[in-house]
Amino acid sequence: MRKTMRILTLTEEVRTNILEHLLKRSPNAYGEYEDRVNAIIARVRKEGDAAVFDYTKQFDKADITADTVRVTEDEIREAYGKVDPKLLNVIRKALVNIRDYHAKQRQFSWFDSEESGIILGQKVTPLTNVGVYVPGGTAVYPSSVLMNVLPAKVAGVPNIVMATPPGADGSICASTLVAAKEAGVDAIYKIGGAQAVAALAFGTESIPKMDKIVGPGNIYVALAKKAVFGYVSIDSIAGPSEILVLADETANPRFVAADLLSQAEHDALASAILITTSRALAEQVSAEVDRFTETLSRREIIVKSLDNYGYLLVADTMEEAIATANEIASEHLEIVTKQPFDILPKIRNAGAIFLGEYSSEPLGDYFAGPNHVLPTNGTAKFFSPLGVDDFIKKSSIVSYSKEALAPVWKDIVQFAECEQLTAHANSIRVRFEDK
């Protein structure tokens, strides 16, 4: 039987080829969809509700009107009756963990004053209107609701609106509605896809305009967020999910295989990579992957993912393995070695880092508290997980008395005149015309 995952010796050529191959999954590489997305956005801007409802009928097979687009309190109460009480309890436990973790990220305004009459500071203000996109239809993502909404609530955003595509009968998944209510969403709209992003970005008769749009989605949602950036803020352009496991000979091959498959089941474009200094471990993981794959429900997706973007890489040294992990800059990085905390300081690029064999990636997806909205496709080199900072803005504060400005006004004039901005210079000079 052909092995599901290939085992490769890690060389410079292999590393370069893998990096180039992984980048092909980026939404930036799907230009052929952009014209369709731009056409949807243009029509929503022009026609408002009519375009949104038409696209909802076309893509989601649901008849939505201005009277039914917003989820009612009756629908939410009905959803609570459909959700298993045990699941509701888990949602509430996860909510506490996520809220408490993000509470530690809060920033506050500050001011520094000097006796000379100078006051400098920074005013921190939450955004006013935030739109959260949650994938829907046949999918169920209550965890994404919590991860996107709770940092905004902690930041103090007063108006949080959620958009999620309905089923053909016009309903929203009960667990999604319950998670939204528990997290504190102010309004929920039954719209999805690029048309939902456009509606949140520009507003329609029924959908209010937002200041920022966050949340994952398919390629149309990703490209729509990219297209409306600048009219509104966005969190990031999310690509397919990915996991990288950094392991030595002490790792449990069954655990490692299970963790790789936890991401491969997301999507045929998902990436699952092991980098290890032990060829024996790589071979054992390969065998375990084959065994698991035979029994898992999303086998077809897993096989495609591993065929396309799954690798078991054997490095000569742990230093070489770490360097490759930093180059790949994976969304999820597990360190499963004898001393994982010794390796942690050497990791520069990763969205979320999981340390030790009992810190598997799904722990972060659902429950531990850190956000699961993470940078993908190598963007962990310069992006961070979604957090409270994404839902605030900062204003600089400057206050000088005349006595504080007097010793430096000529310096400012000289700077302005150097740049030939005479009106700038005059704005300072006019205050000292008697000098």
All residues at 6 or more sequence positions from 69 whose CB lies less than 8 Å from its CB, including other chains: 49, 52, 53, 189, 190, 191, 206, 207
Residue 278 CA: distances (Å) to CA of 15, 18, 227, 256:
17, 20, 45, 13
Pairing of strands 159-163, 212-214: unpaired
Q: Which residues pair with 161 in a beta bridge?
A: 131, 187
Both tokens of 237, joined, read: 């352009």
CA distance 220 to 202: 17
Per the residue annotation, which of 182, 242, 265, 331 is the catalytic one?
331
Both tokens of 342, joined, read: 């010794």
Residue 263 CA: distances (Å) to CA of 2, 136, 218, 244, 365:
21, 19, 16, 10, 11
Taking CB atoms within 8 Å and a gap of at least 24, the contacts of 169-173 are 169/62, 170/62, 170/63, 170/64, 170/68, 171/75, 172/71, 172/75, 172/79, 172/136, 173/136, 173/140, 173/142
Both tokens of 388, joined, read: 């409270």
Half-sphere exposure of 371 (CA within 13 A, CB side): 27
Residue pair 27/237 in contact by the 8 Å Cβ criterion: yes
Residue among 390, 315, 329 at smallest CA distance from 149: 390
Per the residue annotation, which of 102, 242, 266, 332 is the catalytic one?
332
Residue where the block lists tokens 């210079």? 425
Half-sphere exposure of 341 (CA within 13 A, CB side): 0
Residue pair 30/24 in contact by the 8 Å Cβ criterion: no
Residue among 79, 217, 59, 61 at smallest CA distance from 135: 217
Instruction: Please indicate whether residue 332 is annotated as part of the active site.
Output: yes
Query: Catalytic residues, which ones?
Result: 331-332
